Structure 1
């Protein structure tokens, strides 16, 4: 698959550079080029093609929504252990309407949303560049192809495209908010930003920045004051009833514990090194926007809006959230925003005082930067290698979940470090909860699947005893912690499985 992605990039880069003049002047060529970029973006996603453990937790909530139990992890337990309400509803609807499998639906929709981000980058870039053109000058829509190409190389978007999580849809909503604001559709932008808030907590940043941007534009005479008012009303139409429902259903206004403030500079540093292909051109573009004064005030304002979205997204994640996912999960929307900002900034600056010819420097730079991003995808230890390890661990946890569901007594309660995936395999046979549950039937604190050696560490409370099992025919081991008073009965039942053999600790 690595060779297919690298080969796809080489072919696409050669075609875009060779046909750039035709792409710049012929709509049919632009459509064909965009279609090829979307194909490459899908190929980039298939390089990873891994459903994440937190996605399985979402699947559990969505399954219960579709089956009439409500947005709960376990029926009857009204605990808000999610932050992606809109995504849960979206992936539950096909199950409720057509009895479609939730995991398959989520993977297809998240991959489609990632492709939608590539298309949105195309349209948003062109919309911004048009704002900077002198009267009577034809727009150069080929720049949208360059932005789409760079977005297709965004690593985080590719990792989480087929993951079944809400991140691609959130990124798409953010880009669509930008499109609506640039198109002077504040009410539509308000509705879209409400969707972003209901999809990820970082949507609050988008809401705040977009509202301030519209208020500033109104104060400068670029909008009427109806624009920020319409934006707020469009958002509140959905956010007010949603918040009222949450307070009524879960009996709280803010879910979870308060965050521990403090930026994680090592996290930011590793993200920056892996995404230089997006950060450097964005930094150069921002520098030129500051240094070169001129007309096109609306286009420049739109560019600063996208830069603000990206910077504030990073700040919010660093200060308020702990990202335990791979490939800088919560910063996945940032590279697409920077890609659009950098390419659109070139178009804005090159349009004053008159647009230049379609330079081959643009597609060449976009192709090279995309190649750098692809190289990071296949070589950075936080990318492909970690995702493959993650995939293997998920397969192992699925086996463990099947084992526990089949050989534990019906109605058993399992407290697990990875409750989402285990619960998806256990079904109604076993109740799976988080590790903080009191006195479960059995505890499984390990998050990483099998171990390479027997681990007899008995570091849980006195309520539990350690029991180690070897996966038959392999060098792999798993340690489980049955409740002390039922340990013998539970171990005897689990030992009946042909694929697992109990080995007592010495």
Structure 2
């Protein structure tokens, strides 16, 4: 974790640099590289300021560790349940662990940060590629990179260990492959997006629809949509066949669990999704305003070279927003479900504003031929032509956008992520304690299950009552009798908020018969309160379990 003051200082330096050297960015490669280097450093500091790994990420860590250690893609050894939706990310983590032997969590954090930095660089490259007919393309591309680096939704999830930054990187790469005309590669990237997050399906479908329209209008070769689908099928078909064969179900258990929990109130789910998106829109309203201006400019000035790619970016952002509404939003802070949207809007706005400033005579016919003017030289939009702005106005707008995004993230999102980090650290500690003191094969029911199970290791069989990693509980989330009767956990843990400030000695009704509650106090707590965790211990084993658990000097049993 890095101090907020360091982050602010770096961003002030970047803002001053961008405004000062803006007139030189398009013509001097050295200034571009220097500004990009400072942007990457500021992005890294921005991400490290968050440094939070949520519970959901630990579910994937446990799968990745089990794959690398030879247990297979399972949460508990011998129980094939698809409790994840980020297959590509998990396989990547498992591959790195298998090759290097490194722990999964630091690998995931490092790769996530790298993917977020990659998003900054791809935003720069993609904007420049869309604007390859504009002489001011490099400057606008740098502005897009700066604003992307300041996006709180991306920075917060860079070091999270979740697949979010990889997904955003894949979405940007997908657009880039379409811009460059590599349709087969676009299909492969789309398939990786589908295998990384569920909304990858929406992204892949929107990209295919865009290809169909482009092919009909003659902007892409007629076979492009079929080639794209064939490229995607190369990975998706064998992956789907393997999933059904291995897990015996076409829909991941994690998806079933979420749908069942939300099915009681479809209207409520849409309301939650709408609230989630509205809160996001209020936070990123300046981005939406700039996007609206971009849409107005492109609607007014039609047939601009490259404008079709801006519409693709906007369509993807809209599709991601709609998907978030349909699924009911997300449960984590910083709008991770919509992390791709500000980045897509940023690239779209930078590209669209620059395109709208191009001379009318360089219409759509110039684009497919390589962006050459009548003289055979690349067309330029300098100050003399009155086309793309050459002053510092665009740099100032970029700085304002970045500053607002950074400020809102640091004031609203960072405290929530820090609170989440405290809880996750406590769950890690509880899981490590149980993993060390309980014998191998002990069944533990835990809420939440991710961080605790990951810290406990594969020696313990962990039941997640939410149903994410249990096929029966996914369809019957309130069947506590199944947990007690069929899974028969020796220990039940309910530590959703981490440690308790005091002991309650209250046991849930569904566990009151076969279990007894035993509070444990964490060493170092205040005499009048402190940190407590209350375990439900199976009565026939309660004394033995208490003896084993209190052998750890960090925890002391205080029976009710």
Alpha-carbon shift at residue 465 of structure 1 (Å): 2.2
Counterpart of 1:89 in structure 2 is 91
Moved >4 Å (runs of 4+): none
Relative to 1, partners in 2 of residues 1:419 and 1:284: Cα closer, same or farther, differing over 3 Å?
same
**Matching of residue 275 in structure 1 with residue 284 in structure 2:** yes
Counterpart of 1:319 in structure 2 is 326
> Which secondary structure state, in structure 2, belongs to the residue aligned with residue 225 of structure 1?
coil
Match of 2:462 among 432, 435, 454: 432
Alpha-carbon shift at residue 372 of structure 1 (Å): 0.6
Distance 1:280 1:453 in 2: 48
Counterpart of 1:346 in structure 2 is 353
Counterpart of 1:494 in structure 2 is 549
Alpha-carbon shift at residue 199 of structure 1 (Å): 0.4
Distance 1:429 1:173 in 2: 35
Alpha-carbon shift at residue 456 of structure 1 (Å): 2.0
Match of 1:284 among 283, 287, 293: 293
Alpha-carbon shift at residue 112 of structure 1 (Å): 0.3
Deviates more, 1:265-274 or 1:84-93: 265-274
Q: Deviations over 1:274-312 (max 9, x none)?
A: 22242221122123322x13331x522111111111111
Counterpart of 1:195 in structure 2 is 192
1:103-252 residue pairs with structure 2 within 5 A?
103-130=105-132, 133=134, 138-252=135-249
Match of 1:379 among 400, 406, 411: 411
> Which secondary structure state, in structure 2, belongs to the residue aligned with residue 468 of structure 1?
strand
Counterpart of 1:363 in structure 2 is 395
Counterpart of 2:251 in structure 1 is 254
Alpha-carbon shift at residue 346 of structure 1 (Å): 0.7
Alpha-carbon shift at residue 323 of structure 1 (Å): 1.7
Q: Could you tell me whether the CA contact under 8 Å between 1:277 and 1:370 is conserved in 2? A: no
RMSD over aligned Cα atoms:
1.6
Counterpart of 1:329 in structure 2 is 336
Counterpart of 1:504 in structure 2 is 559
Q: Deviations over 1:127-168 (max 9, x none)?
A: 22225x4xxxx3531100000000001111111101111110
Q: Could you tell me whether the CA contact under 8 Å between 2:301 and 2:356 is conserved in 1? A: no
Distance 2:154 2:215 in 1: 34
Distance 1:237 1:168 in 2: 24
Normalised TM-score (structure 2): 0.86
Q: Deviations over 1:455-485 (max 9, x none)?
A: 2221152332222122122111111111233
Q: Could you tell me whether the CA contact under 8 Å between 2:444 and 2:460 is conserved in 1? A: yes
- Structure 1 unaligned segments of length 5 or more: list them: none
Q: Could you tell me whether the CA contact under 8 Å between 1:295 and 1:352 is conserved in 2? A: no
> Which secondary structure state, in structure 2, belongs to the residue aligned with residue 74 of structure 1?
coil
Deviates more, 1:167-176 or 1:393-402: 393-402
Distance 2:72 2:437 in 1: 28
Q: Could you tell me whether the CA contact under 8 Å between 1:65 and 1:92 is conserved in 2? A: yes
Q: Could you tell me whether the CA contact under 8 Å between 2:127 and 2:144 is conserved in 1? A: yes
- Structure 2 unaligned segments of length 5 or more: list them: 361-380, 382-386, 466-472, 474-482
Distance 1:140 1:391 in 2: 40
Alpha-carbon shift at residue 377 of structure 1 (Å): 1.5
Distance 2:452 2:123 in 1: 37
Distance 1:410 1:365 in 2: 59
Counterpart of 1:465 in structure 2 is 516
Alpha-carbon shift at residue 396 of structure 1 (Å): 1.1
Alpha-carbon shift at residue 357 of structure 1 (Å): 4.3
Distance 2:25 2:336 in 1: 34
Relative to 1, partners in 2 of residues 1:443 and 1:352: Cα closer, same or farther, differing over 3 Å?
farther
Relative to 1, partners in 2 of residues 1:47 and 1:482: Cα closer, same or farther, differing over 3 Å?
same
1:289-300 residue pairs with structure 2 within 5 A?
289-290=298-299, 292-296=300-304, 298-300=305-307
Distance 2:540 2:425 in 1: 31
Alpha-carbon shift at residue 326 of structure 1 (Å): 1.9
Distance 1:230 1:400 in 2: 51
Counterpart of 1:407 in structure 2 is 437
> Which secondary structure state, in structure 1, belongs to the residue aligned with residue 232 of structure 2?
helix
Distance 2:438 2:201 in 1: 43
Relative to 1, partners in 2 of residues 1:70 and 1:409: Cα closer, same or farther, differing over 3 Å?
closer
Counterpart of 1:310 in structure 2 is 317
> Which secondary structure state, in structure 2, belongs to the residue aligned with residue 95 of structure 1?
helix
Alpha-carbon shift at residue 388 of structure 1 (Å): 0.9
Counterpart of 2:79 in structure 1 is 77
